[in-house]
Amino acid sequence: MASEDELVEHYDVIVLGLGPGGEEVAERLAEAGRRVLGVEAHLVGGECPYYGCIPSKMIIRAAQTLAEAGRVDQLSGQAEVTPDYTKPASRIRAEATDDWNDQAAADRLRKLGGQLVRGFGRVVGRTSDGRPEVAVGGRRFTAEQLVIATGTAPALPPVPGLAELAGERLSPDGLVWTNREVLQVRQAPASLLVLGAGAIGCELSQGLARFGVAVTQFELGDRVLAVEEPETSKVIAEVLERDGVQLHTGVRIESVAAGGAGVVLSLADGRSFTAERLLVAAGRRQHIPELGLDSVGLDPQARVLEVDDHMQVAERIFAVGDVTGKGPFTHVAVWQARVLVAHLLGRPEPFGGYAGLAWATFTEPEVGRVGLTEQQARDKGLPVAVGRAEIAANSRGWIYGPGNDGFVKLVADIDRQVLIGATVVAPAGGELLGLLTLAVHAEVPLATLRTMHYAFPTLHRAVSEALATI
């Protein structure tokens, strides 16, 4: 009869969660000859390629072409535009997600020498010599190192009636969608209620509204994109409403229920709204409480897993991605993964800190952000100076005409004479952010930025125009 130890499979590294960060760790270590086990309960590749970064931006790109075509009458002639949502929906299904099939990603890991187990992995303790032990279903595994990269999932807020309306399992055919289900529909609804006005809520609200969906959006806070500069919120709110979104901020939702055209949403002030579907874009939830971390001395109720500069959480245990709380972005997860891989392989580690953390929100105009907001800098007690330039007043922005909403805002530490934060709200604002990300990350002196050549007429000249106001 086999001993208990013989029933446990041993690996060099176990990776729990194969989103962008976990997949990068597993593939690179397998490629380097390590015996790697990847554990994934959903899709290998994670949120980004199947629901987030890629397919959602296909909707946004398609919606942008509709908006641009609508500007022909103002700029160049006459055009009649008829939206057809089946085109981006088909592109998402065929080109981006392979109909939500991750076989290619799974095969890629196996070809590199890694192993894949489907299911949710749970930490169940350590061996006598300190190796982490993981259970997946009825199987058990140990490894020299454990990497936790379990990411996040869409959260359903505690709105009365929402859990009942959603049912046990969300689907594209249901009344309630998250960012996952809405990306799988073949035809857009005639009307949509949206809970939440963060990046996901604003991107999808604008994109679908431009396809003719009657969108009504609700935000409990007093402004959209609450993590951004207040000026950003103002511009994006104005553009959303111009695109036909009925926006309601600072509201309290009393209940949701089936009824009317599909869903009825009632506010605490007595107003009610109805639409075919309800899209919930009101935050993400961690899987930390489900991981069994108390078995290795970690707090299972922790909001995030605190990592050091090598992505280590505890002895032999590491983490990358959303679970670390350093930024819920694909590029952060992959960057952390590369730091960790280098650490585990004994190579130079490309750790550069988080002061220059940058991200973009792909509304139109795009929102590019790096470092601290003005208020965050002041809250830290830093000596702040602010520079600003309007995109419409920039030569390229003026030429651009309709759709040139936005600005460049620079936040400087006036004592050190360096930028510590910046926001770009502009056409292609995420692309304009590159210069400013380098400036914040590398602490390029303001004097050096002022001596640069800024090609004319370009949108990025607005950076030099904002510098001139500091």
Encode the chain (470 residues) as per-residue pLDDT tens digits: 334 555 789 999 999 999 999 999 999 999 999 999 999 999 999 999 999 999 999 999 999 999 999 999 999 999 999 999 999 999 999 999 999 999 999 999 999 999 999 999 999 999 999 999 999 999 999 999 999 999 999 999 999 999 999 999 999 999 999 999 999 999 999 999 999 999 999 999 999 999 999 999 999 999 999 999 999 999 999 999 999 999 999 999 999 999 998 999 999 999 999 999 999 999 999 999 999 999 999 999 999 999 999 999 999 999 999 999 999 999 999 999 999 999 999 999 999 999 999 999 999 999 999 999 999 999 999 999 999 999 999 999 999 999 999 999 999 999 999 999 999 999 999 999 999 999 999 999 999 999 999 999 999 999 999 999 99
Per-residue pLDDT, 279:
98
Backbone angles phi, psi at 79, to 5 degrees: -150, 140
Strands 132-136 and 139-148: antiparallel
If we measure between CA atoms, which residue out of 440, 463, 437, 434 comes closest to residue 451?
463
Residues near 451 by beta carbon (within 8 Å), at least 6 away in sequence = none
Show me where the domains of the chain are located. Answer: 5-45+102-153+285-344, 155-283, 358-467
CB atoms within 10 A of CB 426: 32
Per-residue pLDDT, 198:
97
Per-residue pLDDT, 283:
92
CA distance 408 to 433: 10
If we measure between CA atoms, which residue out of 321, 319, 311, 315 comes closest to residue 342?
311
CATH of 155-283, one of 3.20.20.150, 3.50.50.60, 3.40.640.10, 3.40.50.300: 3.50.50.60
- Same CATH topology for 5-45+102-153+285-344 and 155-283: the answer is yes
- 24 near 48, Cβ under 8 Å? no
Per-residue pLDDT, 4:
52
CATH of 5-45+102-153+285-344, one of 3.50.50.60, 3.30.565.60, 3.40.50.970, 3.40.50.80: 3.50.50.60
DSSP string, 155-209: -----TTHHHHH-SS--TTSSEE-HHHHTT-SS--SEEEEE--SHHHHHHHHHHH
What is the CATH T-level fold of the domain 358-467, as seen in this structure?
Enolase-like; domain 1 (3.30.390)
Per-residue pLDDT, 7:
78
Pull the structure tokens for residue 78.
């006459």
Please state the pTM of the whole predicted model.
0.95
